Each structure stands twice: as C-alpha cells, then as structure tokens.
Amino acid sequence: MQRFSRITGTGSYLPPARLSNADMVARLAGQGIETSDDWIVERTGIRARHFAAAGVNSSDLAAEACRRALEAARLKPEDIDLIIVATSTPDMVFPSTACILQNKLGANGCPAFDVQAVCSGFVYALSVADAMIQNASASKALVVGAEVFSRILDFKDRTTCVLFGDGAGAVVLEASDRPGILATDLHADGRYVDILCTPGHVAEGGVLGDPLLKMDGQAVFKLAVGVLEESARAVLAKAGRQEAEIDWLIPHQANIRIMQSTAKKLKLPMEKVMVTVDQHGNTSAASIPLALDAGVRAGKIKPGDLLMLEGVGGGFTWGAVLLNF
C-alpha cells in the first residue's frame, strides 16, 4: 500500500505585544523617520504586527505553536518521531532551534533539524517531512515555522522595518494510506542572494558585517509574482489537478498586492485566498502555517479541502505544496 503524509493538527502562536501602524508611525517619528498608516496599508495591506518581548526566542514561539498543534492532533510530544523547524532567526548559531524546541517540548530522541530557506522555509520543511514520511523514515512529524524578525530589523530603514513581525505556526504531519500531500515543487536561484539578505556573520569574537535585514523591495516583488505563478502551475500539473479545484490558496504573507496578483493569474477570487498579512505583517517562515491555522480555527478550512501553500523569499527561494486537508 502506498504511504502518504497528511496534516492531522495545526497550531500557531503570536507574542502578545501587538503594534498597529499608528504605533510604528510613533516609534519611527521618535527617530525622525516619517511613515504613515496610509502608505503601509496601500502599498502592503499591513495594519499590525506582533513583536516578541526581549529574551523570547524563536524556540519559545515554536513551542507554544507545537503544543497547540499536538493538542489538535490528539498526540503527545513523545509520539513525535521527527522535528523540522524552518527559521532564519534561530536562537543560536548552533545547535539548531529544532533541538532547543525538542527539549522544551520533551520530545527528545527523534531527529530534529532546521531548514533555512527564509520565507520559503515552511514549504521546504513540509516537503522534506513529506519525503521522510513517504520513505518511512518518520511517521509523526512536527513541521514548524518560527521567527523573531523584529531582532534583525533596521528601524532606521522605513522601507523594511514596517513590513515584518514575529510569530510561529506548526503542523503535525502523519503517515496515512490516504493522500494528504499530493505534490511539492521547490526551487532556488542563488544569483539573487543580495536582493534580500542579512549579511552579518559571527567571526573573530563578534558580528562581522551588517546584522540587519536588507531588501531591494521592487526586485523581490517582480521576481515573486513570476515564480509564484510558475510554481503553482507546476505543482498542479504534477498532481494532475486544475486551478479551479483549489479551495484555498495560502500564500506567503508578504504583501497583499503580490497575493492579489497570484490569485488573478490563477483565476481565483480573493475569497479563496487566506489573508493574515493585515494582522501579522510578514512573519517569514511562520507566515504560511500561521495563516493555515487561522483558517482552520476560524472554520474556513475544512477537512477534504484542496489547499495550495506557496512560499517565496530570500535565496532567492520559492515553492509550492498542494494537499488535501
């Protein structure tokens, strides 16, 4: 019998501190930098984001999201036999945030590792977990996206600091004889390393280079709209499905204009697009599982729905996962 992987539980967590655009306007004004609620809403669709308190790390947000996903799947931490965390803001240079999370959950013993694909991290992690479940290396996996991007924002750069937020989302992925994940499609193009990066690194007892996020927003925007359409079509073709069959498109939540463009190209009404960017901002690898969990808990995403998850981000990386929920 063929072995598939299926999502059996979702969970997410946002740190309690919520900053509205008005809060960001006030914070930046204190440094002599001008922005406005109108600009942020019109150009991005973002109205608010959450920032983690000092000392709260990606593994802490991940642990909360995982506890909720485990509860939804009716599993205990010790049932888990694989942990993959997608993050670009790990707790430490090493060991992995996945190992730190594993210990916080009390799920020690199983393989645990991080995936680094920036905002595409969750679709990368989900694809790896799917492959490991299909080949029987694992049966019950936790796949997590967790970020504290507030730590790497340059609050003197209004073109980036208003865009990002912190949070975590998780799914439990279990082996099943019924297909959940139908097809995956992953890509990267390292020629574009410089258009979205945090170039600093640890060396000689300190940080060498700039440890704050840099982005050429327009270059990222242009690439994103093209590759998201390509990847959506590729994953549909692999699964032999049509765009009109999609119940929910759950794209990376970076900019509402990118989501509208993808939806238009796929001839999907915006009612079929899960949107949380307005309340969460761009939470990088956490954005897709946060949006998925929001949709599930709101009763919008139902068992059996055909979901298209799509990520795009630094690297340049992109990809899609098509699944029956």
Binding site for ligand UT7 (CB under 6 A): 35, 39-40, 43-44, 119, 158-159, 162, 196, 217-218, 220-221, 224, 254-255, 258, 282, 284, 312-313
CB of 246 to ligand UT7, least distance (A): 21
Q: Residue 84 forms beta bridges with which residues?
A: 113, 143
d(CA 19, CA 80): 35
- Measured from the CB atom, the residue of 279 and 282 that comes closer to ligand UT7 is 282
The catalytic residue among 57, 255, 282, 324 is 282
C-beta of 62: minimal distance to ligand UT7 in Å? 19
Question: Closest residue to ligand UT7, Cβ-based?
Answer: 217
Rounded Cα distance, 299 and 311, in Å: 23
Rounded least distance, CB 162 to ligand UT7, Å: 5
CB 290 within 8 Å of CB 266? no
Please say which residue, 40 or 144, places its beta carbon nearer to ligand UT7: 40
Catalytic status, residue 110: no
Q: Which residues contact 297 (CB under 8 A, 6 or more apart)?
A: 10
- CB-based contacts of 86: which residues, under 8 Å, 6+ apart? 114, 115, 116, 117, 121, 122, 124, 125, 143, 144, 145, 146, 285
State the minimum distance, in angstroms, from the CB of residue 69 to ligand UT7: 23
> Would you state the structure tokens that stand for residue 190, as one six-digit string?
């390292």
Are the CB atoms for 312 and 118 separated by under 8 Å? no
> Is 66 tagged catalytic?
no
In the complex, least distance from residue 245 CB atom to ligand UT7, rounded to whole angstroms: 26
- Catalytic residue from among 21, 57, 66, 252: 252
Active site residue 280: no
Choosing from 21, 50, 99, 119, the catalytic residue is 119
**Nearer residue to ligand UT7 within complex by CB, 132 or 162:** 162
* Angular region, 134: left φ>0, alpha ψ -120 to 50, beta rest: alpha
Catalytic positions: 119, 252, 282
